[in-house]
Every structure is written in structure tokens, then in C-alpha cells.
Amino acid sequence: MTIAENTMKRPFLPSLSRKAGATLALTLSLLVSGAYAKVDESARYEPVAPTIDQARANILIARQLQFTHFRNLGISDDLSGDVFDAYLNYLDSQRVYLTQQDIDTLSRVKRHLGSALKTGQLQPGFDIYNLVQQRVIERLKFALHLLDDGINEMDFSQDDQILVDRSEANWEADSAALDDLWVRRIKNAVLAQRLNGSDDDAIEENLRRRYEGQLKRAYQARSEDAFQAYMNAFTGMWDPHTSYFSPRTSENFNINMSLSLEGIGAVLQSDNEYTKVVRLVPGGPASKQGQLQPADRIVSVAQGEDKAVNVIGWRLDEVVDLIRGPRNSTVSLEVIPANAADETITRTIAIKRDEVKLEEQSASKEVIQLDRNGQTYRIGVIDIPTFYADFQAMQAGDPNYKSTTRDVRKLISELKADGVDGLVMDLRNNGGGALHEANDLVGLFIDKGPTVQIRNANNDVQVLEDGDPSVVYDGPLVVLVNRMSASASEIFAGAIQDYGRGLVVGSQTFGKGTVQAVRPLNHGQLKITQSKFYRVSGGSTQHKGVIPDIEIPSRIDKARIGEDALDHALPWDQIEAVPHARYFDFTNVIDELRQRHGERFNSSPEFKLLQEEIAFLNQQRKTDFVSLNLDKRKAHHNQIEQTRLSIANARRELRGEEPFADLEALEDWQNQQAADLDSGDEEMDFIIREGGHIMADMLELDQRMASILAPSRYTAKAEAP
């Protein structure tokens, strides 16, 4: 009999003592049978069980993690506890289904999970899953009974409140305490919808549809749901980018990356019971429409004028199937905005589906003109949404295939012909792409030399180099980045900074400095981190990202978006630098450049508006509790909405446009953006202009720079700083 077959017959570990195994089995059987909490006898939930294929896949995953992952991490008793905590966090992230009594009892299996996972014995994880599903069913039935009593009977005059984020809250002591919490949760949901203008009948129908949908999903739980959740709690111990794909997810692997084919063009991932937006695909419908943002969480999906379908608790692939649809049709997403004060504040975004075309992701250029102190500067700007290459055309031998480097080379030639004084490369919101394109792009700006180092789990280091001694552009250079600049963008920006080839301006980048490979299993696939990027100066781009030479504040919440915001992210470290040229030393001018930038921004109305917006968002993010008193909640809601309106109108005033009369007018205008994908909000981008001003400062402060960077006069000195 194989180990996997033995797993199906014996639920627990042969390595445990007979007494320990019996205790473990008794513990979980008592929980599932309801000895510790009353289970509704009318429930039709059928407990799910592991399969032989899943057990074999578990063994393969454990081996791959131990012997091929970049991080050297063994499967120990300490890991057992971390897997247990991560698994419960996935199944009950807001701590609204399980009680402290449940946790105390389940904790008896905590120290055994590692050994079980090492040998493919899945039953302990499945028993935990089944117990949580039963608790979910109990809670949803409780919620539906409350709705049966009528929401008009609820009292909103008391001075009560509810914690917004319960991810780190204590577990409620028992079922009675959970009952009280769920009463407050439903009151909170009712209040939020009342303040959005819904009447009680519509609210009750909406909530009933939500809870009944979740209840239906709980009853339809599949063995694969439990296995995927359990394996991802396990693989996530190594790093957040290592994950298990079920056979269904593997068939639709690109779904996890983007909905680029007749969809909305958004990168989605599961975030506990929600589907979260990770990033937007450049040139895609969502990006062009402009309202959907990273870290927004999807609550419901509606087709055209149909009623919205609540998708809380749905599997990622099912949400994706619902969002995808025919080109030119409209899908409406109800989302919890990333900056929402609590999970009951939602907005609906209508997006016209379309196909993301390669040409719409291509690099583009413009020339901005700056008049300063009687002198005019012409600054070329190249926007690079992603690092792309038409691999199919390349493999077919098409001499005119599209790629980032080929397109930028052409754009630079056109800008040089236009007589620009300097160049701004805009990599904001560029999530990366083809690694070789980042390498080749660096080569347009340097003579020759290394661009990035890649270290694998065996500490072998590969150095990618630009071997072409030609330089396409040798003038002054500024690279714009933000928190959504990741991976290949960080490689390019880091190399430009290390070479002293230009200044990096903006906010700290994402910090994605790892490389993954997808490996087939007997059942599904494993995406595993196998190597790590390092700059030519030796520092990793992992975790820290690239720190700009001149920083500009951002609306993006670094605490929620970025590698350092992810659990178990690989740490920053460094290896030896490799010899590389140093084209210019900004040490003598950087302080003056920062001072000029600061003075300019402090007097800029656009920057003052940005600061006001960031302060507003930070205040929202700091909200721990929301009131369940109608009058207090209404006052708070009105304050938030008026601030939104005032910021929107201040921006319109800067653009010379008529202000919105009220919030309804603002929302109507936002909804109209979905009607035409090319009618997005063309907000004045003062960040680009500031990049141009920094360029002009560089030229004014040190006229030597132009001569130093001239190809006939500079000397590239190899060094390893």
C-alpha cells in the first residue's frame, strides 16, 4: 500500500503515538459532530474528504518546497503552528465564524500539521475545513433569521460601534458573543445601505440575496476547495508568490494574471472571502475607464441591466467567469474601495468589456515645454506601460515585431529630431513583463555592462549584460516610478540609478524581486519561487524596491500594497557588486535639486491638492471603529462625501472646468466614463511636469552635466561601489 493510499484509510499520522493519534481524532470528530457548538440539524452540508491524487500532490509539493525553493525552510513543528494560523486566517480572516472555544480545541492538532503535510496525510486539514464550513452555515442561518424578524425592528439610537478590521481581534468567547457580533454586523450593513439611499425593502432583499448566496456556496463546498486552501496556507510559508493551482485554475492560468481577452483587463486574486484587484492591465478597459483601483475588493457583479450577483465567498475562477463576457458588453462591479473606512462602504463601477491589444500597451511619447526664467526647455516624455514583446512575431521571424526596446529606440530618435533638452521615462504603474526587455532597454542608455544579477537557491549568480557598445541616448535622464512599478521596472530604474545615468523620481517601488517557475504536478501545478534579482551594486530589489533620489508622496497605501505588505515575503539582502560604469555623481547637486523641488511643490496648487487627498485617505485608513448610531453615522458619512466632492471640484477648478453641483452629479459623470473607453479623465499630470522641472534644474545647476554625458567627452569608469 502506498503512503497516499494509507492516507485515505487512516486519517492521522503513523508517526504519532497511538494515544496522541486517538486524541487528535477524537478532538476533530467531536467538533464536526457538534459537541462543542450546536449545529442546525436541517443543514445538508456534506463533509469533503481528500482524494488519493491530492495526497500524492501534497507529497510532491512538500518535496519541491524543501529542495527547490529559494528559501531554505524545513518542515518542522514550528512551521506546523504557522500553517495552522495561516489556514485559519484564510478560512475565517475576520474572526466571525469560529469562537475561542473552537480555537482552543483545534489547537490540539496544531503541532501535528507539519509532519502530516510532509507525508501527504490531509485529513486533519480537511476536518478543520469541514468544521469551519459548518460554522459558516450556522452564522449565515443566524443572519437570515435576523432578517426574518425585520430590519425595521433594529434600534439605531444606541451609542454602539463595531470594529472595522477584525483580522487581529480576539476570537469571540462563545456562540452567544458571536450572536452579538453578528447583530452588529448586520446593523452596520443596513446603516451603510440606508445612507446610500436604499429603502428597507431593498436592503432586506439585497442582504438576503447575499447571505443565501453564501449559504448555497457553503453547501456546495468541494474537496478541491479545501485542498487548494490548505495547500496555499502551506506553500505561503515559503513566500507569498509560491502557490498551488488546482487543475481547474491551471487550465485557466492566465486568469490569475489578467482578464485581457474579452474582459476588463485587471489582475485579480483571492483575498480571504473577497476577490481583490491586484493591478490593472495597461491599455485595458478598466485602466482606461479609470475608476477601478488596486486593492479594491469586489462584492458583486452585474451583467448590463441585470441584478447584481453577490460574489463574496466565491472561488476566484467563478468570479472571473462572471466578469468575462462578449466584447462591447458592460459589466458592473460593486467594490469596496481600497480607501473605504469600512467594508460596508461600496461603489458601483460600470466597465465596457474589450480586448486588450498589444498596440494599446505600447510605449508612447510627448513633448512638454517649460518656460523658466526667460528660458524655454523642451522635455521629451516616454510612457512605458509594460515591458512587452510580441514573441509570436519574433519566433516567426518578422523583422518588424513589436517590443519595448525597439519602440523606445524609435521614439528616442524622433524626440532627438525634435531637439528635446532632456528625457523623462515614465514607469509609473508599470508592473513589469519581459525580463530581457528591461535588460535591452538599459542598454539604450549605457555603453555596455551588466544590468541585473540573478541568484538561485544554490547561490549560483547569473549576470545579464548589455553587450552592445552603442548608446542611443546620452543626454540627461529622469525615471518616474511609483508603488505600482514592479519587477522589470525596478530592474531598469535600479540600473539607471546604480550607473549614475539619471535620477529616479517618485515613490518607493513595489519590491517584487523574485522569479517564479510553474511546475506540473500529478494534480494541478505549483508556482514556486526559484531565484532572486539583485542590482549591479549588489542590493536586492526584493522587499525594499528602489528608493527614489527625489521622493514624491503617493495616494497609494504602502501598508496594503507592496512586497513588504505581504506575509512571509523574502527579505532584502545583498551580494557582491559587479564592476560597472559610473557616468555621473549627483552628490554635489542632489541637495539643491531636492530643495528646489520642495519649494516648487510647496507653492504648487496641484501638490497642495494631492496632500489634502493623501491626508483624507490616511484619516480614512486610521478608522478603527464605526458608529452604529444613525445620527453619528450619517454625520460621518456626509463628511466623507463632502470631502470627496470638494477634492473633485478643486481638481476641476485647476483644469478650468465647471464644478459638480453635488455628489450625485460627480457620480453621474464617473458612470458616464464607461460609455466611451477613450473618454477617460485627462487629469493634468503635474508629476510629469515636475520630472521636467527637475531635468531643467539639473541643467541649470551643473552645466557640466551636458558635457559629461556627451558621448565624445565622457569616460566610463568601471567601479564596484
Positions annotated as catalytic residues are 487, 498, 512
Question: Can you give the C-alpha Rg of the chain in angstroms?
Answer: 28
* Residue partners of 554: CB distance under 8 A and separation at least 6: 482, 483, 506, 507, 614
DSSP 691: H
Q: What is the 3-state secondary structure (H, E, C) of 328-367?
A: CCEEEEEEECCCCCCCCCCEEEEEECECCCHHHHCCEEEE
Confirm if 21 and 111 have CB atoms less than 8 A apart. Answer: no
Q: Map grid coordinates 442546525 to a residue.
A: 40
Phi, psi of 423, rounded to the nearest 5 degrees: -130, 135
* Rounded (5°) CA angle 247-249-252: 110
* Residue partners of 335: CB distance under 8 A and separation at least 6: 277, 292, 296, 297, 298, 299, 346, 347, 348, 349
Burial of 282 (0-12, 13-18, 19+ CB in 10 A): buried
* Integer Cα distance of 354 and 331 in angstroms: 11
DSSP 323: H
Among 125, 113, 105, 82, CA closest to 16? 113
Q: How far out from the chain centre does Cα 579 lie?
A: 35
Please list the residues that pair with 490 across neighbouring strands.
none
What is the rounded (10 degree) CA torsion for 680, 342, 229, 84?
140
Mutual orientation of helices 663-672 and 630-654 as an angle, nearest 10°?
A: 60
DSSP 570: P
* Integer Cα distance of 105 and 34 in angstroms: 12
Helix, strand, coil percentages (3-state) for the chain, rounded to 5, are 45, 15, 40
What is the rounded (10 degree) CA torsion for 661, 665, 669, 675?
-150
Phi, psi of 481, rounded to the nearest 5 degrees: -135, 165
Confirm if 103 and 171 have CB atoms less than 8 A apart. Answer: yes
Confirm if 151 and 78 have CB atoms less than 8 A apart. Answer: no
DSSP 99: B
* Integer Cα distance of 494 and 504 in angstroms: 8
Confirm if 80 and 111 have CB atoms less than 8 A apart. Answer: yes
176-179: long-range contacts at Cβ-Cβ below 8 A with a sequence spacing of 24 or more?
177/99, 178/96, 178/97, 178/99, 178/139, 179/142
DSSP 468: -
For 704, left (φ over 0), alpha (ψ -120 to 50), or beta? alpha
C-alpha cell of residue 472: 542611443
* Integer Cα distance of 115 and 121 in angstroms: 8
* Integer Cα distance of 427 and 546 in angstroms: 12
* Integer Cα distance of 602 and 539 in angstroms: 33
* Integer Cα distance of 721 and 716 in angstroms: 14
